[in-house]
Amino acid sequence: MSQFYKYFFKSLPCIIALCFILLTSCEREAFQSSRSGNFSFSTDTVMFDTIFTDLGTPTYKLLLKNPNNFNLRIDSVYLADTQKGFIVNVNGLSSLPLKNLSLGANDSLYIFIQAFIPPTQEDASFTNEDSLIFVSGNTNKKVRLIAFGQNTIHFRDQNIKTQEWINSKPYLIYGTLTVDSGHKLTINEGVKVYFHRNAKLLVNGAIDVKGSFLHPVKFRSDRLEKDYDTLPGQWGGIIIRGTHDNHSLNYAVIRNATTGIVFGDYKNDAVVKAEVKNTIIANMAYSSVIAYQANITANNTVLANTGNTTCFLYGGEYTFTHCTFANYGAREIPRSVDSKTLKLSNYAEPGPIAKDLINANFINSIIYGSNQNEIQLLNKTGSRFRYNFENCLIHNSDISQILGSNNVFNKSPKFISSLKENFRIDSLSPAKNAGNITYGSQVPFDLDNNPRTTDAAPDMGAYERKEKQ
């Protein structure tokens, strides 16, 4: 027998004894009883921003830490009031109260918390508060749970007749809310309209948005967390197809949809008539405005920052006075390579379907963006194609096709912050005092309610430069 085997067999009792000691030591460590002790949390207050009573919140992760060098016994975990709408999941268990949990030495675990606020009768937002309580022996600690709730008037894939919305509770739309033909939806100042993912407003009748400078009407996503403030494409948009009444939007703010407003239908030659004033339609995944054979008058309106062309006009009649068209891409979505700020066409795809561009007038306006050519003119013979730019600041390297007079080309408007959607101009802007006085007096106050007629001439765009006194 070799020396190796002789040595191995002589050492075997010692090896077996050593293994036994190690195994029993690990077993004692693995199965040692838990003890009560101190513990801590990643925060002592979990706070949710304003949420609608119809919706749950995103999940918050709370970390429970065991700083001890022994297994910690948590005798119980419970909510002080189970009627407040908070849902808690601890270690995969969601039915509170929980008893006799164990947390390893110097270990931690995540606790997942959501809030589903039950409806109340209140119009204003309200506070919902509870406490999540942990007990380990004589140690008793709690984490405050706070959620700000808001009741809503909600619609889910509904057709409505004539209605008037007032500034009481917000309005929340799931799916598609349809205004029936022959009926009108009136939305008064200060109303907030929220849309769930992919939801839209379809107007087969008429819409009258009656916002004011101090209390505009706001259309936006129902995600109220800060991370969603600048995220485009969260809801579908507004589609206006009613052709029997004139539509009106005054002091509206429309943000973060796929397309802000679609006027008309490319398959239908019936004319949608609308007046848009003092309105912002910005940060869209696709476009701010698409219009098919529409008749639109717009003043003091900003159409801005989209993933594709900001304003498509396929046929129709248009007058835009003191408007700002600007495209630097939607936030978090870069512009498509061939996108423009403004596109004029006398036909619509697919087809193509002829759409006479009877007249498109742009007066005292700014058409600008981050590309070299921000205007595209699509003219097929056999259809009318008339347009005019007067006293406009335009970004387009090819100016040969831009018909009009007194225009300023390819000079930066010097917006205060195009990416933050502040399209006011600074004191050195070439748009300053470059507008036509006659048209400026027809729109005497700008989007900030500042007068246009108190200096040499009105500024181009939706905003009048207000110098500091």
pLDDT of 205 over the 60 cut: yes
pLDDT of 23 over the 50 cut: no
Mean pLDDT of 324-349: 93
Tell me what pLDDT residue 34 has.
Answer: 83
- H/E stretch holding 437 reads helix 437-442
Tell me what pLDDT residue 125 has.
Answer: 82
pLDDT of 4 over the 60 cut: no
Contact 65, 41 (CB under 8 A): yes
Residues 262-309 pLDDT 10s: 999 988 889 999 999 999 999 999 999 999 999 999 999 999 999 999
62 pairs with which residues across the strands? 111
Tell me what pLDDT residue 126 has.
Answer: 87
Contact 390, 434 (CB under 8 A): no
In whole angstroms, give the CA distance from residue 246 to residue 305: 27
The 3-state secondary structure of 413-436, one letter per residue: CCEEECCCCEEEECCCCCCCCCCC
Tell me what pLDDT residue 324 has.
Answer: 98
In whole angstroms, give the CA distance from residue 71 to residue 83: 33
Q: SS3 for 385?
A: strand
| Phi/psi of residue 438, nearest 5 degrees | -60, -50
Tell me what pLDDT residue 343 has.
Answer: 98
Contact 330, 352 (CB under 8 A): no
Contact 60, 114 (CB under 8 A): yes
In whole angstroms, give the CA distance from residue 418 to residue 323: 15
Contact 286, 312 (CB under 8 A): no
Residues 420-469 pLDDT 10s: 999 999 999 999 999 999 999 999 999 999 999 999 999 999 999 987 76
pLDDT band with cut points at 50, 70 and 90 for residue 121: confident
Tell me what pLDDT residue 341 has.
Answer: 98
pLDDT band with cut points at 50, 70 and 90 for residue 21: very low
pLDDT of 139 over the 50 cut: yes
Tell me what pLDDT residue 52 has.
Answer: 87
Mean pLDDT of 179-207: 97
pLDDT band with cut points at 50, 70 and 90 for residue 392: very high
Residue-wise DSSP of 9-48: HHHHHHHHHHHHHHHHHHHHHHHPPPB----EES-SEEEE
pLDDT band with cut points at 50, 70 and 90 for residue 122: confident
Residues 39-86 pLDDT 10s: 999 999 999 888 888 788 889 999 999 999 999 999 999 999 988 889
Percent of the chain with pLDDT over 90: 75
Non-local (6+) Cβ contacts of 88 within 8 A are: 77, 79, 94, 96, 111, 112, 113, 132
**What is the distance in angstroms between the CA of the first residue and the CA of the last residue of the chain?**
107
381 pairs with which residues across the strands? none
